[in-house]
Amino acid sequence: MERDPIVLQQASAIRESALAGNKVLRNTYLLLSATLAFSALVAGISFAYKLPHPGLMLTLLVYFGLLYGVQKTAHSAAGIAFVFALTGFLGYTLGPIISFYLRAIPDGHTVVINAFGITAVSFLGLSAYAVRSRRNFSFIGGFLFVGILTAFLLGLAAVFFHLPALSLAVSGMFVLLMAGLILHQTGAIVNGSETNYILATVTLYVSIFNLFTSLLQLLGFASDD
């Protein structure tokens, strides 16, 4: 019994799409692991030598500048250099942040460890769910874009107008938004709508970074007498 050529063609296309998705996912996780290790190393150096935080405005300028560099070079080898520059810089900013929590809170070590543990478990759990379920989370893309932009602007307002309650609310928003972004990005890789592992790596790294720093603030507030 001969098989329908159209059915065979569709099956072949699905198989090729799955193989391509697996390759992007593998390359993304390999690069993400390397950037996380590099970022942790830079954070450790920054912490050990008590290097100062560059400040909010300079941090944003450098961050968006490097992010623009990643976007422009994402399809070349230079993109990997920009990825390490971006993640290394963010790692540098983590050193003074962690140092602050260790000094300002009596059980700061517990806060940092708990924030790290929750971040790791959350990322692994969300990624595993997205990979195993192979669900398409593109339907939350618009919500995530609006939510992240809103939370970012509210965060700036909280800093400039010294509104700690709003800052905590923004941290809570970022925890939920970053969880959604991890699902969205991983689902996009698995389903083949994201084919660039450099861009995927940056999105996942920034999600992890924001999730960790937001949890630090929430846990730090909860444990500060």
The string of pLDDT tens digits covering residues 30-50 is 999 999 999 999 999 999 999
Average pLDDT, the chain: 91
pLDDT bucket at 201, cuts 50 / 70 / 90: very high
Backbone angles phi, psi at 107, to 5 degrees: -105, 45
Report which of residues 3 and 130 the model is more confident about: 130
The string of pLDDT tens digits covering residues 151-177 is 999 999 999 999 999 999 999 999 999
- Using alpha carbons, select from 223, 204, 196 the residue that is nearest to residue 112: 223
pLDDT bucket at 58, cuts 50 / 70 / 90: very high
For residue 7, pLDDT beyond 50: no
- Interior/surface letters 66-100, b for 16+ CB within 10 angstroms, e for the rest: beebbeebbeeeebbebbbebbbbbbbbbbbbbbe
The string of pLDDT tens digits covering residues 19-34 is 455 899 999 999 999 9
Verdict on whether the full-model pTM lies above 0.95:
no
**What's the pLDDT at 4?**
57
Alpha carbon distance 31, 178 (integer Å): 19
Alpha carbon distance 205, 84 (integer Å): 11
For residue 6, pLDDT beyond 70: no
**What's the pLDDT at 11?**
42
**What's the pLDDT at 20?**
53
**What's the pLDDT at 118?**
97
